[in-house]
Structure 1
Amino acid sequence: MFPLDFNKPDVANTIASCTHFQRFRRSVIMSA
């Protein structure tokens, strides 16, 4: 995982991109 600094405003973006990557990888595995 990423080291999260909750004082930074881009923590939400990091989490969103992480979940987006999980969803993308899952869709790629399903379509393979």
Structure 2
Amino acid sequence: AGPLEAVLFDVDGTLCDSDPLHFEAFRDLLKE
């Protein structure tokens, strides 16, 4: 389970609904 898989889950909207904080962390990560 690498970062890319986690990003795919975020794009799928799974973590977006269940873990908004996780999504925000990824959004900040992608900004950089």
State the TM-score, normalized to the length of structure 2: 0.42
Task: Tell me which protein shows more helix as a share of its residues.
Answer: 2
Greater relative contact order, per chain length (Cα 8 Å cut-off, separation 6+) = 2
